[in-house]
Amino acid sequence: MAKKYNFYAGPAILPYEVMKKAQEELLDFNGIGLSIMEISHRSKDFEAVIGTAEAKIRSLLGVPDNYSVLFLQGGASLQFGMIPMNLLQGKKADYVNTGAWAKKAIKEAKLFGAVNVAGTSEDKNFNYIPEAKWSPDAVYAHVTSNETIGGIQYQTFPDAGNIPLLVDMSSDIFSRRIDVSKFGLIYAGAQKNMGPAGVTLVIMRNDLIEKCPDNVITMLSYKIHKAEKSLYNTPPCFAIYIVKLVLEWLEKNGGLAAMEATNNEKAKLLYDAIDNISLYKGTANVKDRSKMNVTFRLSSEELEEKFIKAATAQGLVGLKGHRSVGGCRASLYNAMSLEGVKILVDFMEKFAKENK
C-alpha cells in the first residue's frame, strides 16, 4: 500500500503510532484476553481508560480544579442545542457569526432565548474574524475558535469581561496552548484533532453547571453527566479509548507547546507557497488565517478539479473544499507531519509549473 497523506477535514488523520497501538491491543486489552470494545463500561479496566483520558486532558490543557471534564455524545452539533437549553432559558446570549458552524450554533440558540449577533463577517463571505460588541445583559458569549469550512481562526480570544465565554473548539483543540480559565465552557467533537467520531469533549466551569435547571431531559443535563462522571449511560467506550491513546501520543511528543510550534511551521510553509505561487489564492484574510484548515482557490473550478485529482493520484488525499464553499482545503491537524506538508508544497509547485 503506497503511503497516503491525509488532508481530510474530519473525520481526519490520526497518529500512525495510535492506530498501530490500537491494532496491537484490539483483541487483547491489558492482557485480559478481551477487546476494550467488549467489556463493561463499569469495569475497572475501562474506568482506568476514561480516568487516564480525563487526567491527561487536565494536565495537557491545564484545566483548573473548578472545571468538569465530560465525555458526551451527539457531536458538537448537539452542543449547539444543549448549551442554550441549559444556560439560555429565555434570556439573552451573544454569538459571533464567523461562518458555517457559528450559524448552526445561532440557529439552535434561537429556540431557547434571544440571540444577539455581537459580530459578523457575513459581509465578506466570512473571510475574517469580526470584532464583537458584547451586550451587558448577555448570560454568555459564544465564539467558534476555528471555522473548519471557511478557514479562519481566532489567533487570540476576545475578552467578554464578566460574561462567560463559551467556545466551539472542535477543529483546533490541542493544536495550541490555551488558558482554560478564560472560558466558561469549551466543547469539541473528537473527530478533527482528538480521535475518532463518536465522543464530544466538554470542559465546563462548575458554577455554570450548578446553574443549569433540573427540567431538561437526563441525557441533555450537564448536571447529571457531571454527577455520574460521564457514565450515566454507556459512553462511546472505543472512541474514548482512542482519545486516550492520542493524548498519550501528544504527551510523548512534547505536549501543546510542541504541537503549537510545529503547527505554526506547517501553516507558514503552506501559506508561503500559496502567496508565492500565482496559481493559488488564499481565501482567508491573512491575519485570521486558520492554522488547521488552509483554504485556497485556483483560477477556475475545472483547474481545481484537475488539481485535486492529480494530488489524489500522488497519495495526497482529502484536498477538496467543503461542498458548501468549493475550492480546495488542506487540513493540517496535529498528526500531519511537517514532512507531509512539504510533500504537498512540492506537489503544488510542480502542478503550477505544468499548468501555467
Q: In angstroms, what is the minimal distance from the CB of 280 to ligand PLP?
A: 23
State the minimum distance, in angstroms, from the CB of residue 277 to ligand PLP. 27
Give me the least distance between CB of 42 and ligand PLP, in Å please. 26
Task: Give CA angle at 192 (96, 15), nearest 5°.
Answer: 150
User: CA–CA separation, 236 vs 241, rounded Å?
Assistant: 9
Q: Which residues neighbour 288 within 8 Å (Cβ) at sequence distance 6 or greater?
A: 127, 128, 129, 152, 153, 154, 155
Residue 288 as a binder of ligand PLP (CB under 6 A): the answer is no
Report which DSSP code applies to 304. Answer: H
Nearest CA to 115 out of 141, 133, 82, 151 is that of 141
Q: Which of 142, 192, 297, 329 binds ligand PLP (CB under 6 A)?
A: 192
Residue with cell 482506568: 48
Half-sphere CA count of 21, side-chain side, radius 13 A: 15
CB of 147 to ligand PLP, least distance (A): 6
Catalytic annotation, residues: 101, 168, 192
Nearer Cβ to ligand PLP, position 144 or 283? Answer: 144
Size of interface with ligand PLP, in residues (CB under 6 A):
12
> Per CB under 6 A, which region of 130-138, 164-172, 272-280, 335-343 contacts ligand PLP?
164-172
Note the residue count of the chain: 356
Q: Shortest Cβ distance from residue 231 to ligand PLP (Å)?
A: 21
196 is a contact residue toward ligand PLP (CB under 6 A)? no
The residue within the footprint of ligand PLP, chosen from 127, 148, 153, 193 (CB under 6 A), is 148
Nearest CB to ligand PLP, comparing residues 171 and 221: 171
Report the candidate in 272, 298, 301, 294 with the shortest Cα–Cα distance to residue 351: 298
Binding test (CB under 6 A) with ligand PLP, winner from 77, 116, 135, 337: 77
As given in the structure block, the three cell numbers for residue 107 are 440557529
Q: Of these, 94, 168, 260, 304, which contacts ligand PLP (CB under 6 A)?
A: 168
**Is residue 73 a contact point for ligand PLP (CB under 6 A)?**
no
Strand order in the sheet with 293-297: 281-282, 293-297, 328-331
Residues 314-343 that bind ligand PLP (CB under 6 A): none
Q: Shortest Cβ contact with ligand PLP: which residue? A: 75
Closest CA to 173 of 204, 202, 205: 202
Residues that bind ligand PLP (CB under 6 A): 10, 75-77, 101, 144, 148, 168, 170-171, 189, 192
